[in-house]
Amino acid sequence: MKVFVVGAHGKIGKQLIRILSESSKHKVRAMVREAEQAHNFQSLGIETAIVNLEESVEKIAAGAIGCDAIVFTAGSGGHTGADKTLLVDLDGAVKTIEAAALAKIKRFIMVSALQAHRRENWKDGIKPYYVAKYYADKMLEQSNLTYTIIRPGGLLDSEGTGYISVAENISGGMISRKDVAKTIMSSLDEGNTFYKAFDLVSGDLPITEALKLL
């Protein structure tokens, strides 16, 4: 499976690109915004497409042509305002969903946020971020794509354990970005994750085993 990673230069994206490039099962194409970012990946032998999420659906689709799956792990970042959150985390995600259909790609994994599906649990101060995630997730669920929505808890830069907990509702918890990336990769062809949305935190079960119990 060839995977188009949107948000490849982000912290989860970089982890995902690395483990996909080392995999014997999958190939990867990194979507980046700038030529310098593309050069950094290309120097490692990783295929790239230079596309900005604020560009057209057609440009995103052109970057993804020939891939079998899309992973959306892009984000506007904590230093931007609600306007960029709207343009990237919501409209950028929806345009990527539309681009998947245009590029005839059925498999789509969305990286969301813990409890994004429950308004009563949205954290004060970053509610625009949760709004963006909530509605992007809704649009994906209403599409004709074979989707998986992964809602990770608080993100850590630690090495990770390879052990997770997944469920429709988890009230809180943390997880390493590396374990999020591994969960994404394991979900790509795990049929038990198709058409499902779940919270993800560190836990007691190996990733592949936890996903089979969803």
Residue in 155, 135, 151 with CA at minimum distance from that of residue 193: 151
Q: Which residues participate in catalysis according to the annotation?
A: 129
C-alpha to C-alpha distances, 37 to 47, 48, 57, 142, 176, nearest whole angstrom? 12, 9, 21, 33, 23
Strand partners, 50: 32
Q: How far apart are the first and last CA of the chain?
A: 23
For residues 166 and 13, what is the distance between their CA atoms, to the nearest angstrom?
Answer: 20
Q: Strands 107-111 and 196-202: what pairing?
A: unpaired
For residues 174 and 46, what is the distance between their CA atoms, to the nearest angstrom?
Answer: 30
DSSP code at position 123: P
